[in-house]
Structure 1
Amino acid sequence: MTKRKGGEVIAEYLVEQKVPFVFGICGHGNVGMLDALHAVRDRVRLISPRHEQAAGHMADAYFRVKHRPVATLTSTGPGSANMVMPLVTALSDSSAFLAITANVPTSQANRGPFQELYAHNQADFAQVLRPVVKRSFQPSRVDMLPLALRQAFDTMVTGRPGPVNLDVPYNVFQEEDDVSPPLPSHSFGVHRPGASAADVAAAVDLVAAAKRPVFFVGHGTTLSEAGPEMTELQARWGIPVITSPNGMGLVPADDPLTLGFIGRNGAYPANQAGRFADLVICIGTRFDDRSSSSWNPGYSWNFPTTRLLQVDIDPTEIGRNYPPTLGIIADAKTFAGQLIAALAERREIDRASFAAWRAEVAGWRAEWEAFVRPNFALDTSPIRPEFVVGALADVLPDDVILSLDSGVHHNWFMQFWQPKRAQSMLNSWGYSSMGFGVCGVLGAQLAAPDRPCVAVVGDGGFMMAPHVVATAVEYDLPCIWIVWNNFAWGAIRDLQYGLFEGREIGTAFYRGNQGPGGERYNPDFAAWARACGADGVTVTRSRDLRGAVETALRNRRPCLIDLHVDADVRPPSTGTWSLPPIPYKEPIFGRPHRLD
Structure 2
Amino acid sequence: MTMKKGAALISEYLVQEEVPYVFGVCGHGNVGMLDALYDVKDKVKLVSPRHEQCAGHMADAYFRVKHRPVATLTSTGPGSANMVMSLATALSDSSAFLAITANVPTSQHNRGPFQELYQHNQADFASVMKPVVKRSFQPSRVDMLPLALRQSFNTMVTGRPGPVNLDIPYNVFQEEGDVELPAHSHLDAQHRPGAGDADIAAVVELIAAAKRPALFIGQGATLSEAGAAITELVDTLGIPVITSPNGMGCIPGDHPLALGFIGRNGAYPANQAGRFADLVLTVGTRFDDRSSSSWHPGYSWNFPQTNLVHVDIDPQELGRNYAPTLGIIADARTFVKQLLAAIAGRPALNAGRFVEWRSRIKSWQTEWLEFVQPHFTDSTSPLRPEFVVGTLQSVLPDDVILSLDSGVHHNWFMQFWKARRPQSMLNSWGYSSMGFGVCGILGAQLAAPDRPCVAVVGDGGFTMTPYVLCTAVEYNLPCAWIVWNNFAWGAIRDLQYGLFDGREIGTAFYHGESGESYNPDFAAWARACGADGTTVTRPQDLRGAVEQALKNRRPCVIDVHVDANIRPPSTGTWQLPPIPHKEPVFGKPHRS
For 1:30 and 1:248, how far apart are their aligned partners in 2? 39
User: Which position in structure 1 is the counterpart of 2:567?
Assistant: 570
Residue 583 of structure 2 is aligned to residue 586 of structure 1: yes
Equivalent in the alignment of 2:537 = 540
Superposed counterparts of 1:321-336, under 5 Å: 321-336=321-336
Q: Distance in 2 between matches of 1:423 and 1:464?
A: 26
State the match for 1:15 in structure 2: 15
1:466 paired residue number: 466
Q: CA contact under 8 A between 2:158 and 2:186: conserved in structure 1?
A: no
CA distance 1:294–1:513, change in 2 (3 Å): farther
How far residue 189 of structure 1 moved from its aligned partner, in angstroms, is: 5.3
Which residue of the partner structure matches residue 132 of structure 1?
Answer: 132
Q: Measure, in 2, the Cα distance between the counterparts of 1:586 and 1:543.
A: 35
Q: Is 1:524 matched with 2:485?
A: no
Where in structure 2 are the equivalents of 1:69-218 lying within 5 Å? 69-187=69-187, 190-218=190-218
Match of 1:87, SS? helix
How far apart in 2 are the matches of 1:334 and 1:188? 17
Q: TM-score, normalised by structure 1?
A: 0.99
Residues 264-305 of structure 1: CA distance to partner in whole angstroms, max 9, x if unpaired? 000000000000000000000000000000000000000000
The amino acid that maps onto 1:177 is: G
- Match among 548, 556, 560 for residue 559 of structure 1: 556
2:283 aligned with 1:290, yes or no?
no
AA aligned opposite 1:41: K
> What is the aligned partner in structure 2 of residue 260 from structure 1?
260
Q: Give 1:178 deviation, angstroms.
A: 1.1
Aligned to 2:243: 243
Q: TM-score if structure 2 supplies the norm length?
A: 0.99
Paired with 1:48 and 1:67, the residues of 2 have a C-alpha distance of 21
Q: CA deviation at 1:185?
A: 1.0
2:68/2:187 contact within 8 Å kept: no
Q: Give the Å deviation of 1:513.
A: 6.5
Read off the aligned partner of 1:65 and give its amino acid letter: V
The size of the alignment, in residue pairs, is 592
- Give me the whole-angstrom Cα distance separating, in 2, the residues matched to 1:539 and 1:253: 27
Is residue 40 of structure 2 the alignment partner of residue 40 of structure 1? yes
Contact 2:157 2:186 in 1 (8 A): no
Instruction: Note if contact 1:158-1:188 (Cα within 8 Å) is conserved in structure 2.
Output: no
Task: Determine helix, strand or coil for the equivalent of 1:463.
Answer: helix
Q: 2: CA distance between counterparts of 1:449 and 1:336?
A: 31
* Letter of the 1:542 counterpart: P
Structure 1: 5+ residue runs without aligned partners?
Answer: none
Letter paired with 1:563: V
Answer yes or no: is 1:275 the counterpart of 2:275: yes
Measured in 2, the distance between the counterparts of 1:100 and 1:470 equals 23
CA root-mean-square deviation: 0.7
2:342 counterpart of 1:345? no
CA distance in 2, matches of 1:379, 1:205: 52
In 2, Cα distance between the equivalents of 1:166 and 1:502?
Answer: 47
Please report how far the alpha carbon of residue 188 of structure 1 lies from its aligned counterpart in structure 2 after TM superposition.
Answer: 5.0
Question: In structure 1, what is the equivalent of residue 392 of structure 2?
Answer: 392
| Inter-partner Cα distance in structure 2 for 1:188 and 1:325 | 34
Q: Kindly state the Cα deviation for residue 348 of structure 1 after the two structures are TM-superposed.
A: 2.0
Percent identity, aligned pairs only, is 77
Question: 1:186 deviation in Å?
Answer: 2.7
Paired with 1:453 and 1:109, the residues of 2 have a C-alpha distance of 45
Does the residue aligned with 1:123 lie in a helix, a strand or coil?
A: coil
1:313 equivalent in structure 2? 313
**d(CA) in 2 for partners of 1:171, 1:473:** 34
Determine the C-alpha separation between the residues in 2 that align with 1:169 and 1:133: 19
SS at match of 2:259: strand
Task: Name the structure 2 match of 1:6.
Answer: 6
Q: Specify the alignment match of 2:406 in structure 1.
A: 406
**How far apart, CA to CA, are the structure 1 residues paired with 2:366 and 2:470?**
45
Per-residue CA deviations over 1:147-186 (Å, capped at 9, x if unaligned) read 0000000000000000000000000000001111112213
Q: Distance in 2 between matches of 1:508 and 1:51?
A: 26
2: CA distance between counterparts of 1:439 and 1:251?
26
Shift of 1:544: 0.1
Given residue 265 of structure 2, which amino acid in structure 1 is its aligned partner?
A: N
The worse-fitting range, judged by mean Cα deviation, of 482-491 and 174-183 is 174-183
The AA in structure 1 aligned to 2:249 is G
Report deviation, 1:346: 1.2
User: Given the alignment of the two structures, is residue 446 of structure 1 paired with residue 446 of structure 2, yes or no?
Assistant: yes
Match of 1:359 in 2: 359
In structure 2, the gaps of 5 or more residues are none
Aligned mates of 2:205, 2:315 — CA distance in 1: 22
Counterpart position of 1:503: 503
Matching residue of 2:418: 418
What one-letter code is carried by the residue in structure 1 that aligns with 2:267?
A
Residue 299 of structure 1: aligned partner = 299
Aligned-partner Cα distance in 1 for 2:531–2:513: 30
Indicate conservation of the 8 Å contact 1:473/1:532, yes or no: yes
Residue deviations 1:328-376 (CA, integer Å, cap 9, x gap):
0000000000000011111221111111000000000000000000100
**Equivalent residue letter for 2:461:** G
Within-5 A mapping of 1:455-494? 455-494=455-494
In 1: Cα distance, 2:520 partner to 2:75 partner: 32
- In the alignment, is the contact (CA less than 8 A) between 1:157 and 1:188 conserved in 2? no
- What secondary structure sits across from 1:173 in the alignment? helix
CA contact (8 A) 1:409 1:457 kept: yes
Q: Which amino acid aligns with 2:517?
A: R
